[in-house]
Amino acid sequence: MSDKGLVMLAAGGTGGHLFPAQALAEVLRQRGWRTQLMTDERVRDYGRNFPAETVHVVPSATLTPGRPLRLAGQALRLHAGFRKARAILRAEKPAVVAGFGGYPSFPPILAAAALKIPNLVHEQNAVMGRANRVLARFAGRVASSFPEVRGLTDRARGKLVFTGNPVRALALAEKAAAYPPLTASEPFHVLVFGGSQGARFFAEFMPKVLKELAPAMRSTLALTQQVRHEDFEHLTAQYQALGIQAELQPFFMDMPARIARSHLVICRSGASTIAELGVIGRPAIMVPLPGSLDSDQLYNAKSFAAAGAGWVRPQGDLVASDFAAFLTRLRYEERDLAAAAQAALGHGRPDAAERLADVAEALALHTDMT
């Protein structure tokens, strides 16, 4: 494999930031680039398989303007991170630095700009994150996961390139999976998941919904649900009492394969979830995480629903009986579900990592993308 040089990736240490960075790293390595990663301590949980020759843990802090007494300490920690990132970049001499959001990407992108190293930021959500909103001023390119992205200044909008959100190889392996046949007598496969907060909410809400279903509907329901350890026994007992066939686990290593086997997904609307639903091609009822400052999940869900790929149900508006009636209608409208699955494919961008790699290479090689 040729050695074209080094690309430094910078991302917050959660899956939402690391997974697209990992997808980009995999493509860049195939193209002959070396990759390193700058992140925070959380990488030990989410970045175990990250394809980087070196992982640099850089100090960072989330700025909290609403808590002014903490700002001085946060600023000092970010400055320490900037100095460490600058020293690393001087030593490693990357051709380009690519940031994926979260405050751990703050020091590397600012250091790259100070050293005049070509750089880009990638925004996973339909609303610019607070770190990326600032970093967009310094970036050479701003790559977006959604065709429309909120929170950009006019100046930063001139740097915008729509690439889509890179997904894991596990999701690409299920790309455009054939929609499972569905008849009135066959099992109706429903997958429910949503991270820790989603798992807590769905563990409380879904039993109420399923209790409202007609016995005939419950008898053909094949449910797969992500649950927290503390909810497992209680939820198992409730579903058994309702006569529902359910597979419950705290975590599914093969989540993309389970999405592909489903007729319908009920979930939160994080950026990676929307991207994988689009690549695989499955309809979803989305319950955006409430209470976020920028309502990013709400706008992610609205984008997916506007494409005809799913339905948005705000958590505060949910009524179990109404949800059960809607679920029943969808179950017996195979054409609607199949059409939504096809629409999901239209929203998905399976080549997002390749497109983002093109942007990174163009910056590294000083090539005009316009």
**What's the average model confidence in pLDDT over 173-198?**
92
101 and 193 inside one domain: no
pLDDT-derived band at 1 (thresholds 50, 70, 90) equals low
Residue 123 structural domain: 5-166+351-364
192 φ/ψ angles, rounded to the nearest 5 degrees: -125, 125
Instruction: Give, as one character, the DSSP assignment of residue 180.
Output: P
Query: Looking at residue 45, what is its pLDDT?
Result: 60
249 and 326 assigned to the same domain: yes
Q: What percent of the chain is modeled with pLDDT above 70? A: 95
The reply to whether 204 and 148 lie within a common domain is no
Of all residues in the chain, what percent carry a pLDDT higher than 90?
78
- Within a domain: 49: yes
Q: For the chain, how many structural domains are there in total?
A: 2
pLDDT, one tens digit per residue, over 287-297 is 999 987 789 99
**What average pLDDT does this structure show over 234-251?**
95
Q: CB–CB of 151/128 below 8 Å?
A: yes
Q: Which pLDDT score is estimated for 73?
A: 74
Q: Does residue 223 share a domain with residue 100?
A: no
Same domain, 160 and 194: no
Q: Does an H or E element contain 266, and which?
A: strand 264-267
Mark whether 331 and 357 lie in a shared domain.
no
Is residue 175 a part of any domain in this protein?
A: no
- Mean pLDDT for 223-227 is 97
Q: Residue 246 is part of a domain; what is its CATH number? A: 3.40.50.2000
Please indicate, yes or no, if residue 329 is contained in any of the structural domains: yes
Q: What is the pLDDT of residues 49-106, one digit of tens each?
A: 788 999 999 987 776 666 776 767 777 888 899 999 999 999 999 999 999 988 889 9
Among all chains, which residue has been given the structure tokens 């802090």?
61
Q: What number is the average pLDDT over the span 174-186? A: 94
Sign of CA dihedral 202, 205, 211, 213: negative
Residues 325 and 359 occupy one common structural domain: no
pTM: 0.92
Determine, yes or no, domain membership for 301: yes
The arithmetic mean of pLDDT across residues 230-241, rounded, is 95
Query: Would the pLDDT of 350 be above 90?
Result: yes
Does 180 reside within a domain? no
Q: What is the pLDDT of residue 47?
A: 59
Kindly state whether residues 18 and 134 are assigned to the same domain.
yes
